[in-house]
């Protein structure tokens, strides 16, 4: 399998597959409270079978060309990931997302990895619109969208009911011509 270096700090972007279930569960257990503060990702992963099922669901999406999951490793330890939550090559649209445990924060891992994913989506797959959704209260996620050169399209007011609270969802996007203009014809990794 491939491993893409994200810089001199030993960070790598790799596929996150069902056979990583044990490592994935340990990672979520380390950062569960932090990871699920704004998103429910991984909250249903509580044992090896549920970890394997979650990873298999994304492997199935990748096989159907409609999504995908990639892990972020720092010094050989899984600390988070980035994903194509939705991938519609025919329609030219995708939605990307991320999650991190505390050990992965403040290093630019998501921004560096997301540049690779977006570049691939735009340059290799012909995606026209890349969308990023984040709770209005999730400032780190919104900062990543800004660093990626995305434009805030708007706010879906009280659209996300989570942990007993209705939350606003910000929608950010970058279009292929904008991405190419900012990152060159093959992207700036």
Domain membership flag for residue 9: yes
Domain CATH for 142: 3.40.630.30
- CA separation (Å) from 87 to 10, 102, 139, 179? 29, 28, 25, 17
Q: How many domains does the chain have?
A: 1
Find the mean pLDDT for residues 97-111.
94
The reported pLDDT for the residue numbered 7 is: 86
> Using one digit for the tens of pLDDT, what is the confidence trace for 10-33?
899 999 999 999 999 999 999 999
Residue range of the domain that includes 55: 4-183
Domain membership flag for residue 47: yes
The reported pLDDT for the residue numbered 39 is: 87
If one compares 140 and 189, the residue with the highest pLDDT of the two is: 140
Q: If pLDDT is split at 50, 70 and 90, which confidence band does 112 have?
A: very high
Domain membership flag for residue 189: no
Distance CA 102, CA 184 (A): 33
The reported pLDDT for the residue numbered 42 is: 87
Domain membership flag for residue 108: yes
Q: Does residue 187 surpass a pLDDT of 60?
A: no
Q: If pLDDT is split at 50, 70 and 90, which confidence band does 1 have?
A: low
Q: Which residue pairs from 121-127 have beta carbons closer than 8 angstroms and sit at least 24 positions apart in sequence?
A: 121/84, 121/87, 121/94, 121/96, 122/176, 122/179, 122/180, 122/187, 123/185, 123/186, 123/187, 125/89, 126/89, 126/92, 126/176, 127/87, 127/89, 127/92, 127/93, 127/94, 127/176
Domain membership flag for residue 26: yes
Domain membership flag for residue 144: yes
> Using one digit for the tens of pLDDT, what is the confidence trace for 118-177?
999 999 999 999 999 999 999 999 999 999 999 999 999 999 999 999 999 999 999 999
Continuous segment of H or E residues that includes residue 95 = strand 93-100
Continuous segment of H or E residues that includes residue 121 = none
The reported pLDDT for the residue numbered 186 is: 52
Q: If pLDDT is split at 50, 70 and 90, which confidence band does 184 have?
A: confident
Q: Does residue 185 surpass a pLDDT of 70?
A: no
Q: Quick one: tokens of 21? A: 């279930």
Distance CA 80, CA 12 (A): 11
Find the mean pLDDT for residues 90-110.
95
> Using one digit for the tens of pLDDT, what is the confidence trace for 25-78?
999 999 999 988 888 888 999 999 999 999 999 999 999 999 999 999 999 999
């Amino acid at each position: 399998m491939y491993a893409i270096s994200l810089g001199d700090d030993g960070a790598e972007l790799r596929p996150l597959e069902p056979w990583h279930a044990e490592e994935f569960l340990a990672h979520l257990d380390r950062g569960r409270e932090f990871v699920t503060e704004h998103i429910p990702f991984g909250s249903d992963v509580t044992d090896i079978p549920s970890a394997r099922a979650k990873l298999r669901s994304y492997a199935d999406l990748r096989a159907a060309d409609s999504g995908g999951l990639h892990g972020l490793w720092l010094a050989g330890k899984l600390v988070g990931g980035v994903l194509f939550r939705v991938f519609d090559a025919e329609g030219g649209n995708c939605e990307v997302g991320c999650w991190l445990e505390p050990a992965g924060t403040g290093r630019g891992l998501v921004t560096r990895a997301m540049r690779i994913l977006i570049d691939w989506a735009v340059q290799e797959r012909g995606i026209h619109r890349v969308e990023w959704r984040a709770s209005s209260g999730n400032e780190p996620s919104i900062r990543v969208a800004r660093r990626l050169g995305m434009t805030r399209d708007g706010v879906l007011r009280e659209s996300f009911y989570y942990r007993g609270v209705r939350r606003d969802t910000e929608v950010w996007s970058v279009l292929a011509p904008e991405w190419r203009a900012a990152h060159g014809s093959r992207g700036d990794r």
